Structure 1
Amino acid sequence: MNKSELIEAIAKNADLSKAAAGRALDAVLAAVQQTLKKGNSVTLVGFGTFYVGKRAARSGRNPRTGATIKIKAARVPKFRAGKALKDAIN
């Protein structure tokens, strides 16, 4: 499912116009992004938790030249599924 299909599903299930559903989805995604940028987590009970993980600096290889390169440490977004979501899938 891509973003436009998700907007259609939201509009249908919530009895909204596609424009309103699109704005709502954009607002939710922006709020999650801003919260993660601050280093906090977003917990949606029954769905899961979005949080920021840390990836340590490491060395890697350039696949074209084979040269060793240094890869910087990074903060990466992660998601942990909640119990209700896991149960719904299984």
Structure 2
Amino acid sequence: MHKSDLVAAVADLADLPADRANDVVSAIFEEITNALSRDESVTLVGFGSFFRRQRAARTGRSPQTGETIQIPATASVGFRPGKALKDCLNE
């Protein structure tokens, strides 16, 4: 499913025009992104939780030259599914 498919589904379920549904979906994504950038977790009860995950700096190897390189610390997003989502997937 792509964003356009999600927008179409929201428009159909909520009986909204497509452009209004697009605004709603975009606002939700933007607020999740803003919360994660502030290092806050986002919990959607029954669906799951998004949280910021830190990866420590480490040494690695360049696959082209084989030399050792430093890989900097980075942040990524983690997702932990909620009980309702897990139950739905395991029916």
Instruction: Give the aligned partner of residue 54 of structure 1.
Output: 54
One-letter amino acid matched to 1:41: S
Give the secondary-structure state (helix, strand or coil) at the position aligned to 1:50. strand
In structure 1, distance between residues paired with 2:18 and 2:65: 48
Give the secondary-structure state (helix, strand or coil) at the position aligned to 1:7. helix
Q: CA deviation at 1:86?
A: 0.4
Instruction: Give the aligned partner of residue 65 of structure 2.
Output: 65
Instruction: Give the aligned partner of residue 4 of structure 2.
Output: 4
In structure 2, distance between residues paired with 1:9 and 1:63: 44
% same residue: 48
Indicate the RMSD between aligned Cα atoms, in angstroms: 0.9
**Deviation >2 Å, runs of 4+:** none
Give the secondary-structure state (helix, strand or coil) at the position aligned to 2:31. helix
Give the secondary-structure state (helix, strand or coil) at the position aligned to 2:46. coil
Give the secondary-structure state (helix, strand or coil) at the position aligned to 1:51. strand
Give the secondary-structure state (helix, strand or coil) at the position aligned to 2:13. helix
Residue range with higher mean Cα deviation, 28-37 or 53-62: 53-62
Q: CA deviation at 1:42?
A: 0.5
Instruction: Give the aligned partner of residue 89 of structure 1.
Output: 89
Instruction: Give the aligned partner of residue 34 of structure 1.
Output: 34
TM-score (norm 2): 0.93
Count residues in correspondence.
90
Unpaired stretches in structure 1, ≥5 consecutive residues: none
